Amino acid sequence: MISILKSRAEAELEMLAHDPYCALYLPLWKQDVAQSQYFYSADAHATRFYTSNSSWTPLGRHTTKNGEQASTPDHEAVLDIADAITLEIYMKLDAREAGKYPRIVSHKYEYSYDIHLNTGGVPAIAVMTAGGSGGLDSKYSSQAVPLNRFTLVTSTYDSSDNTLRNYQDGLFINSKTHGYGGKIDIHPYTFYVGNMIGYTAFVFVYSRALTPPEIEHHGRVARRLFP
């Protein structure tokens, strides 16, 4: 039964990657790069990633401390997203590092956008916009990512209503109006995932804010992958 659910989830995830707004789909539980440090995303853009300090497992890329990650070796223009964005990571947190605020999905350097965790494992979306002095604002979820269980963390920002939103396992958690608003201020740099103690099964990035029903559907699909 589990294998049937996983096969169905794999097919559905591939369909979600066909969305014309899908900028990135990393099915990391599938990608064994034991013979190479490089691998490619499974979306229309085939973005190249590099890793030298994470290991592949059938559950996804495994990282053992803050600073271990997979990243684009070069700046990728497809991830320079300005109008609206959805960031999504299906992850299993093994432990939390004291004093660390890891950016687990991030457009690095003066981060244009990211999902990061606080010391209690609570995720937040942070977005830098060109709409004011500094331009950076963030919104923490009200629910921590639990230890030792796969959890779908999804966050969105939409410049049409200047709203940051957080979801967990497909369900809406909370939202906030961005303090500066406007389009995302893009800094050409690398993009990376991981940077925590745990597993990253898959990552999605969309150049639009997915709707609550769409995100709820993603939650159902994720639960079929690792029920």
| Distance of alpha carbon 29 from the chain centroid | 15
**Diameter over CA atoms, the chain:** 54
Of the pLDDT bands very low, low, confident and very high (cuts 50, 70, 90), residue 122 is: very high
Of the pLDDT bands very low, low, confident and very high (cuts 50, 70, 90), residue 66 is: confident
The answer to the question of residue 227 being in a domain is no
pLDDT at 34: 58
Nearest to 111 by CA among 167, 185, 33, 42: 185
**161-184 pLDDT, tens digit each:** 999 999 999 999 999 999 999 999
DSSP-based three-state secondary structure for 74 = coil
Whether the predicted pLDDT of 25 surpasses 80: yes
Whether the predicted pLDDT of 3 surpasses 70: no
Nearest to 197 by CA among 113, 97, 114, 123: 97
Degrees, nearest 5: CA angle 67-69-74:
110
Residue 46 half-sphere exposure toward CB, CA atoms < 13 A: 0
The answer to the question of residue 15 being in a domain is yes
The answer to the question of residue 123 being in a domain is yes
The total of structural domains in the chain comes to 1
Whether the predicted pLDDT of 1 surpasses 50: no
The answer to the question of residue 51 being in a domain is yes
The answer to the question of residue 226 being in a domain is no
What interhelical angle do 2-16 and 212-225 show, nearest 10?
140
Q: How far is CA 56 from CA 35, 67, 111, 137, 169, in A?
A: 11, 16, 27, 34, 24
The answer to the question of residue 222 being in a domain is no
Quote the CA–CA distance of 188 and 119 in Å, as a whole number.
28
Provide, rounded to the nearest whole percent, the portion of the chain with pLDDT above 90. 78
Which residues, in sequence order, are CB contacts of 1 under 8 Å at separation 6+?
Answer: none
H-run or E-run covering 4: helix 2-16
Burial of 144 (0-12, 13-18, 19+ CB in 10 A): middle
**189-202 pLDDT, tens digit each:** 899 999 999 999 99
The answer to the question of residue 172 being in a domain is yes
Global pTM value: 0.94
The answer to the question of residue 225 being in a domain is no
β-sheet bridge partners, residue 166: 155, 174
Domain holding 32: CATH number?
A: 2.60.120.200
Domain hosting residue 154, numbered range: 2-217
